[in-house]
């Protein structure tokens, strides 16, 4: 979905919920004028009910669907409102940093272990072009154990 286009594709957001928000705000303003500064359930429900009844009308609902080009079906009315500009995508940061090949080595610190785990996770996701959750979860589990062990080693060395 193009950026800033959800209002074109979600008819009830524009036709009903936007006006409901404004109407509820007006109801609360009236309470503030009457020196009610804290809205409890007692004040909320009547204010919301009045705003809801004022905005959730058949004409607002139909207008929202018409504006989204759904009823009657008119996709051109939505497409014509989009400001689509074609551009060449910039290469991802990781792809640019692949000039230096990665070499596997046993991490010596918690930071190195986390970094290696994140790198492997990205490589697995990109290679399989899917979500190999079982492999990633196993890797995360190993990383967690490795980090705990490294922390324990640091504490034991401090005692010596």
Task: Tell me how crowded residue 55 is: count the other CB atoms within 10 A of its CB.
Answer: 19
Alpha-carbon distance of 27 to 130, in angstroms, equals 49
112 or 65, which is more confident: 65
Q: How many domains does the chain have?
A: 2
- Judge if 151 and 101 occupy the same domain: yes
Query: Do 63 and 126 reside in the same domain of the chain?
Result: no
Percent of the chain with pLDDT over 90: 24
The reply to whether 99 falls in a domain is: yes
Query: Six-digit token pair at 29?
Result: 């303003």
Domain for residue 88, yes or no? no
User: How much is the CA Rg of the chain, to the nearest whole Å?
Assistant: 28
Convert the pLDDT of each residue in 76-118 to its tens digit. 777 777 666 667 777 666 554 554 565 667 777 788 778 877 8
- The secondary structure of residue 91, as a DSSP letter, is P
Helices and strands, number each (H, E), in the chain? 9, 0
Instruction: Tell whether 75 and 119 lie within a shared domain.
Output: no
What's the pLDDT score for residue 65?
A: 87
Are 21 and 70 part of one and the same domain? yes
Q: 87 lies in a domain?
A: no
Please tell me the distance from the alpha carbon of residue 70 to that of residue 92, in angstroms, as a whole number. Answer: 36
Least confident range of 25-29, 49-53, 82-86, 112-116: 82-86
pTM: 0.47
DSSP calls for 24-36: HHHHHHHHHHTT-
Structural domain containing residue 20: 6-79
């Amino acid at each position: 979905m193009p950026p800033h286009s959800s209002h074109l594709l979600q008819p009830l957001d524009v036709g009903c919920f936007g006006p409901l928000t404004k109407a509820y705000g007006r109801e609360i303003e009236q309470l503030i004028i009457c020196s009610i500064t804290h809205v409890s359930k007692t004040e909320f429900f009547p204010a919301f009910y009045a705003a809801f009844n004022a905005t959730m009308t058949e004409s607002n609902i139909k207008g929202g669907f018409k504006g989204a080009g759904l009823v009657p079906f008119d996709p051109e009315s939505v497409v014509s409102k989009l400001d689509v500009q074609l551009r060449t995508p910039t290469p991802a940061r990781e792809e640019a940093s692949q000039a230096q090949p990665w070499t596997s080595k046993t991490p010596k610190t918690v930071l190195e272990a986390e970094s290696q785990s994140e790198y492997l996770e990205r490589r697995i996701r990109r290679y399989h072009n899917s979500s190999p959750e079982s492999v990633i979860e196993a890797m995360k589990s190993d990383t967690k154990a490795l980090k705990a062990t490294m922390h324990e080693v640091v504490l034991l060395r401090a005692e010596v």
